[in-house]
Amino acid sequence: MGRVVFAGETAIMEDVLQRAQQTRVAPCSAGCPVNTDTRRYVEAIARGDYEAALEVLLDANPFTSVCGRICHHPCEAACRRSKVDAPVGLRALKRFAVENARDYREARRCPVAPTFSERVAVVGSGPAGMAAAHDLAKQGYRVTVFEKADTPGGMLGAAIPRYRLPYEAVKEDLDDIVALGVELRTEVTIGVDLTLEDLRQQGFDAILLSTGLSESHTLNCPGIDSEGIFLAMPFLRAVRMGAPPEVGRRVIVVGGGNVAMDVARSVRRLGVTEVACICLESREEMPASPWEIEEALEEGVQIAPSWGVRTVFAEGGRVRGLELRRCTRVFDEAGRFSPTFDDSDVCTRLADTVILAIGQRADLTCIAGSSVQEERTGRLQYSPATLATSERGVFACGEVARGPGSAVEASVRRMSDLCSHLPVRRGEGRQDGHHARGDVPGLRAVRCRVSRRRRCPAAVRHQPDARGAGRSAQATARRRGAAPARRLLLLPL
């Protein structure tokens, strides 16, 4: 029996198929957020050329090892094979190629000599920041990444459970990027140890903020400050570090997204037998990926949809349970978050521990003392067209600017896309009246060619057929009539 397909997936599938027809590329490639040439790497794997398959993957996405394990694989949802029996296991094939070409991957690493004098500071070493550092380094810029934690990777390394993503997989991708010549400084908190002005004084011409959404939201209800209530992100970080907090024998996780599933499944691995997830959404509306929900159910996690927390019961200052009320609607007619409840339909669930996984927010310590403004949502105010913030020379990308997304979606929001939208002439503003304040004085944008493959050592250089297999997805789209995104570089006037 196949898995349940929800209405939201059907709508996404229809959109992907429409884009595939318009761009004349395979639906699986159109469904991929970074437009990976899926057919080409599958063909390379089929003929046993794992090195060529790896080249195709890395050309499209610097976080290939990570995505081979945790990508939400929209390519598979778009796979035509699903109309016959089941989609091709593209994510598993990606992981297979990575694991069978490790020696080649290490040998191909080589630095890119800087060709421009401009220096860029990237704040945050998650997938968005490191993908931006990757692009900028390949284009010839001097890039330094600042990370407040002692290990790089952002939430990939700090919060995603090891059963889903071992840190060794994250490190493989990070090592590729650092090998390009990217400087990585850990245990430096921007806004505390250094300000944005300090970075300018150190000679950085542009600053990219990509700090992600690393903090958890809490609830506003009676008893929420009771002992035994944890926030999801600190809990996951503690579990990842091997020092989980003490939990009781009955645990309730509040939330219905992928983070809630990660928390619930991590709690089960701590030996807790009674774990339940409650959420406002109905089963069909739950934001977690369907396979994440199915795997949680298979592991013994109970799912209680369409319930909201009304009150936290406590004894002696410690949580003992939750009073819940039925949620009749989560979103209004315009699709806005506006839950309504039926106060006549209530119930009580006992719990020794409650973990809140109801969404993430940004830690904006990095903008302390600057003129960078934030939105009412708690994310950075920025221009989607230019990635410019309200302070000249400061840009933003990833979840801290656009909101929650997956690792592969974060990796596609890259600094090279910013360059394509900078004004061609100094002082040129946007048509919508929002001045591109991120534009750096003394810089102009010029058209250029990017993604030219570096020359690798002769011992690991591809044969002609493998080089063909390693062509970029963008080049393939160009040959098939798609209009590739214009790429620009910053050069001094």
The string of pLDDT tens digits covering residues 187-212 is 999 999 999 999 999 999 999 999 99
CA distance 71 to 68: 6
- Give me the mean pLDDT over the 362-389 stretch: 91
Mean predicted lDDT score pLDDT of the chain: 82
- Give me the mean pLDDT over the 417-424 stretch: 40
- How far is Cα of residue 242 from the mean position of the Cα atoms in its chain? 23
What pLDDT band is residue 245 in, cutting at 50, 70 and 90?
very high
pLDDT tens per residue across span 74-116 = 888 888 888 888 889 999 999 999 999 999 999 999 999 999 8
Helix (H) and strand (E) counts in the chain: 20, 17
Cβ atoms of 332 and 183 closer than 8 Å = no
Predicted local distance difference test score (pLDDT) of residue 20: 53
DSSP 19-64: HHHHHTS-HHHHHSTT---HHHHHHHHHTT-HHHHHHHHHHH-TTH
Report whether pLDDT(37) > 80.
yes
What pLDDT band is residue 386 in, cutting at 50, 70 and 90?
confident
Q: Structure tokens of 282? A: 């109905």
In words, the CATH class of domain 119-213+362-453 is alpha beta
CATH of domain 7-108+461-492: 1.10.1060
In words, the CATH class of domain 215-360 is alpha beta
CATH 1.10.1060 domain span(s) along the chain? 7-108+461-492
Name the nearest CA neighbour of 352 among 219, 218, 228: 228
User: Is 122 in a helix, a strand, or coil?
Assistant: strand
Q: For residue 134, how many C-alpha atoms fall within 13 Å in the half-sphere facing its CB? A: 25
What pLDDT band is residue 239 in, cutting at 50, 70 and 90?
very high
Instruction: State how far the alpha carbon of 266 is from the alpha carbons of 259, 321, 407, 461, 492, in Å.
Output: 10, 20, 20, 43, 51
pLDDT tens per residue across span 136-193 = 999 899 999 999 999 999 999 999 999 999 999 999 999 999 999 999 999 999 999 9
CATH 3.50.50.60 domain span(s) along the chain? 119-213+362-453, 215-360
Predicted local distance difference test score (pLDDT) of residue 26: 85
As a whole-number percent, the residues of the chain with pLDDT over 70 amount to 77
Predicted local distance difference test score (pLDDT) of residue 408: 62
Predicted local distance difference test score (pLDDT) of residue 54: 97
- Give me the mean pLDDT over the 355-378 stretch: 93
Instruction: State how far the alpha carbon of 438 is from the alpha carbons of 194, 355, 478, in Å.
Output: 20, 39, 30
Report whether pLDDT(8) > 60.
no
Predicted local distance difference test score (pLDDT) of residue 378: 87
Cβ atoms of 208 and 120 closer than 8 Å = yes
